[in-house]
Structures are given as structure tokens and as C-alpha cells.
Amino acid sequence: MTDTDDEIVFGRKGALGTILLNRPKALNALTHEMVVAMHPQIRGWAKDDGVKAVLIQGAGEKAFCAGGDIRKLYDEGRAGGQYPYDFYHDEYRLNADIHYYPKPWISFLNGIVMGGGCGVSIPGSHRIATENIMFAMPETGIGLFPDVGGSFFLSRCPGRVGEYLALTGARLKAADCLYAGVADHYVPAAKLEALATALEGTDGSHEHVGATIAGFVEDAGAAPLAEVRDVIDRCFAGATVEEIVAALESEGGEWAAKQAKTIRTKSPTSSKVALRQVREGARRDFRDCMVMEWRMVNRIIAGHDFYEGTRATVVDKDQSPKWDPPTLEGVTDADVDAYFAPLEKGDLTFD
């Protein structure tokens, strides 16, 4: 823990530049101010020969980072404010900075890792899961889509696991995170402090960082995902969300039926956009994925389902969103195409 009230705390420990996401009461959810603060800090470290690697972690025991500050995005967006556009613009550029970072980027994924928390960790080079991790990309349930680079990393999960995660928002524990490729190593939470101390002496090479981490790694056990992988690959290969749901419903068995039921509770528009997004992402590099996501989120902010999904989940908490359109069949290919079209104001750029 820390004795500061700052939302984000930067430090130096040996050869490490350290980042602490410091909003434990809000599950370390990212604010725009936190995102903006990270940009110059990590760029400065990139040029500092004394900083060999970056370590990012969350304050408290419950979460690494549970995502963006959705309530503020909801309030400001409904009022027609600029905040949501500024937040996503700067967040997506930060995600790209992390993916292309010239030094090892080490994330201690202890607790909840969702949405924006995935964006400041998974694009990095070393993702360390503990027994407390709970990963999910649940955005289709609030009328959004699995952003912050989800186009890139979900499309590179084995088989059809990426489509499964995008459409269902499934929650993964440590072994499944390793299986899906969203984490690289399993280290018990009790060992993180000692690992951080060991990393203070890194020479900055990925080989040295990897070898240091390896000294603390333990077996995460069997991955439950592996047991249903055949079903995932078979059912989530469908060309459309409707085909995927139909395949799950005809598959037989409790697990497949549950997934179909889950998908039907999500925003139909978001579900179709997310499926297209993951499949498009497989053919793009990370920056191109972020350009695509910037186009998509601009349409989301200007639309209906994000505000309705957030209202039902976060504001009123009635868990009864009224999606528009209300069914998968009501979302046309032309509707989906519009989310991916170039923006009149111009695409996301990187410097």
C-alpha cells in the first residue's frame, strides 16, 4: 500500500520504473488523468538509460485494474461532453505505446483485470498472473466492445477462444489466462514482493527478465478451457453471431447452452461488432487495430446501447437493458459496417 492519495504513483526502484494504480476503493479503475500522466512518464523512462524495465501493479488486494471509469464516461457522454472522446483517444495511444515499448513491460496481475486494465498490461512483454486473477473482457454486456487492443490479443488466442471471450465476457482464472495467452507466467501473490525486488537488478534484456521471473514461477494447474476447447472451436467458427448461437444451442450439454443464453443477454449490436472486430484484428498489426477501435468507439459514444447498458449495469443496476435493436436479427450488415468506416474528423495517429 501507499500513503499518498494520488491516483497513480510513479517511482524508481533499482533498475525499475514503477507504476502503482492507486484507486483501490474503485478497483483501480483508470481515469483520464491517470492515462494522461502515464504518457510522458513512460516515454521519459524509455530514454533513460538508468531505467531498464517498467513494473506496473495495482494497489490493494482486490484488483490490478477493473477497467475505465465507466460511470464518468456515462455521465459525460450523456451530457454531450468531450470527455469520452478524449479518454479513449489518449487511452488507445497509451495502449500502443505499451505494445511497442522498447524495454520490458512487466505487469503483476493480482485480482480483477478487466477492460482498461487489460490495455495497460496485456500489450506489454511480461504478464504475470497470481491465484487471485480474474480476467474478463465483458464489454458487450454494456453495449461496448472488447477494446484497448482486444482486436489484437483476442484474435491471437488459440483456436476460437478469442471469439468466445469477446462474445460471452467469460471470466478466467490463472490457468485459463495462461492457456488463452493473456498471461505468460503464474506466480503466487505471496512471491510478488520478492520477485519485484529481484527485478530491481535486471539488465533490461528480455532474456534476463524472463530468467528472473522463471525463478518464481509455479504450476497453475489444469486449464478448464482445455476441456471445452473442441466445443469452442466448433461452435464459435460460425460466420455470424446467429450461427454461433445456433451451433451452441444444437451442441447439447449444459455448458454450450449456458454460453448461448449468455450471448443472448448482450447487446446485439456490440456482439456483431465484436465478432467482426476480432476477425479483422487477426489481419492487422497493433497500431492498425487501435485505429480500427478508435473508429468503432466514436460510433459507440454517439449511439444508444453503451448508455443503456451502463445504466442497467452500473447506474440503476436493474440488469435489464433495453437494447436497440433488441435482437441479433435486427442488426444488419450495413449497421455493422458503419462502425468500421473512416471518420470524417480523421483517424487515430501516433507519434
Please state, in angstroms and as integers, the Cα–Cα distance from residue 37 to each residue in 9, 21, 42, 94, following that order: 10, 11, 9, 10
**Long-range Cβ pairs for the range 243-251 (8 Å, 24+):** 244/163, 244/167, 244/275, 245/328
Active site residue 116: yes
Catalytic residue, candidates 69, 76, 97, 139: 139
Active site residue 335: no
How many other C-beta atoms are found inside a 10 Å radius of the C-beta of residue 318?
9
How much is the CA Rg of the chain, to the nearest whole Å?
20
Residue 216 sits at φ, ψ, to 5 deg, of -115, -5
Cα dihedral sign for 31, 37, 39, 43?
Answer: negative
Catalytic residue, candidates 67, 77, 111, 116: 116
Give burial (CB, 10 Å; 0-12/13-18/19+) of 98: buried
Q: How far is CA 327 from the centre of its chain?
A: 26
Q: Which of 142, 141, 148, 78 is nearest to 118 (CA)?
A: 148
Active site residue 238: no
Enclosing H/E stretch for 87: helix 83-99
Q: Which of 18, 69, 68, 59 is nearest to 42 (CA)?
A: 18
Q: How far is CA 12 from the centre of its chain?
A: 26
Enclosing H/E stretch for 244: helix 241-251
Catalytic residue, candidates 7, 76, 97, 147: 147
Give burial (CB, 10 Å; 0-12/13-18/19+) of 47: exposed
What does the angle CA 244 – CA 313 – CA 311 come to, to the nearest 5 degrees?
Answer: 110
Question: Which position has the grid cell 529481484?
Answer: 198
Active site residue 139: yes
- How long, in residues, is the chain? 351
Catalytic residue, candidates 67, 68, 111, 117: 68
Which residues form the catalytic set? 68, 116, 139, 147
